[in-house]
Structure 1
Amino acid sequence: MSEVLDYIEMKLPAKAEYVGVVRLTISGLASRLGYSYDAIEDLKIAVAEAATNVVEHAYKDTVGLMGIGCRVFRDKMEIIVSDNGQSFNFEDLQKDIGPVNPNKPVQDLKEGGLGLFLMESLTDKVEIKQESGVVIKMTKFLERDEVEQHVDGIRSTNAQHQ
């Protein structure tokens, strides 16, 4: 098992105006870790879908909290979005969380269909737990942009030919 380098956790009101805060936080973190532009855009959409599902579906007539947790590894980032806003222990959660049931129509899941489809399409792994609330864990592996990694090499090669 990989070593966790950092852990970030936020609790925010489950209101639409805070979805952007979640997007910006994950975007800034992914940028700092060296994710490519495309991977950052994918993460922003996936986390916004998860947070929007909390805003739209988690609480009936009250405003509750959404919890955002992020574990950073050398080669990946794990993001959890929960709709009860409580602190969570990643290790404890690992015991109860599992992959989305492929035999269950996506539309039948509590948090909605298209959002979950986007999360699965834009991240490397999506796991879900549904009990008193919904917890979604998304994993995105770090694959640095090949063009960005070799820019200096290209410039030095071109400089030799001039």
Structure 2
Amino acid sequence: MSEKPLDLVYLTIPAKPDYVGIARLAVSGIANRMGFSYDDIEDLKLAVSEACTNAVDHAYCGGEGEIEVSCNIFSNRLKIEVIDRGTSFDVQEVEKRTGPIRMERSMNSLRERGLGLYLMKTLMDEVEIKGDNGVIVTMTKFIRKDVVESHVESSTSFHPNR
């Protein structure tokens, strides 16, 4: 039996570039409230932006459609699903075409070759992509509170006048 989230925030936006920022802002607010670090919040925003932009650019090919963004809030992680009901694609084929990144290629050719997928997988702890009757991108980021705490001096050890 799978663990139930503490809360679920569900957002539906038009599949248009102008609305991707709303998804980024919502995820940023949720992650901030959960206690994610600044860097992790930036990673979350970029990964969600890439998933939504892929849906805008590829799922509906400029036509009408919607993107569903669900944020499953757990005590130790945020699980985000970005769902479109547009054109599916073969994830393994895109990853195979992506290959290693070479500096002589332009950024436009990188974006066409799967840079968004690469970024999502690099920035998030877990990424799963299913392409059946649309695309479902599931991304998970764990809260790393111990990383910050282990590098911060306690207030009792700080003496500015010594």
For the aligned pair, the TM-score class normalised by the smaller chain equals 0.7 to 0.9
- CA shift digits 1:24-52 (9 cap, x unpaired): 10011000000001100000000000000
The answer for the alignment partner of 1:157 in structure 2 is 157
Change (3 A) 1:18 1:103: closer
Q: How many residues align?
A: 145
Counterpart in the other structure of 1:25: 26
Q: Which residue does 1:69 correspond to in 2?
A: 70
Describe the SS at the equivalent of 1:105. Answer: helix
Question: Once the two structures are superposed, what CA deviation does each residue of 1:89-111 show, in whole Å capped at 9, x if it has no partner?
Answer: xxxxxxxxxxx659951549xx9
So what's the TM-score if we normalise by structure 1?
0.78
- CA deviation after TM superposition for structure 1 residue 157, in Å: 1.9
**Shift in alpha-carbon separation, 1:70–1:112, aligned structure 2, 3 A:** farther
Q: Is the 1:36–1:145 Cα contact (8 Å) retained in structure 2?
A: no
The match for 1:41 is 42
Q: Which runs of 5+ in 2 are unaligned?
A: 100-111
Structure 1 regions of 5+ residues with no counterpart? 86-99
CA distance in 2, matches of 1:41, 1:25: 12
Per-residue Cα deviation, 1:76-124 (whole angstroms, up to 9, x for no partner): 1100001129xxxxxxxxxxxxxx659951549xx96110100000000
Matched, 1:105 2:72: no
- Over the aligned positions, Cα root-mean-square deviation in angstroms equals 2.9
Deviates more, 1:56-65 or 1:128-137: 56-65
Query: Which residue identity is paired with 1:156?
Result: T
Deviation at residue 132 of structure 1 after TM alignment: 1.4
CA distance change for structure 1 residues 33 and 54 in 2, over 3 Å: closer, same or farther? same
Judged with a 3 Å threshold, the aligned counterparts in structure 2 of structure 1 residues 55 and 74 are, in CA distance, closer, same or farther, namely same
The separation in 2 between residues aligned to 1:148 and 1:136, in whole angstroms, is: 31
**TM-score normalized by structure 2?**
0.78
1:32/1:61 CA distance change after superposition, 3 Å: closer
Name segments (4+ residues, structure 1) moved above 6 Å: none
Deviation of 1:149 (Å): 7.3
The verdict on how the C-alpha distance between 1:159 and 1:26 changes in structure 2, with shifts beyond 3 A counting, is same
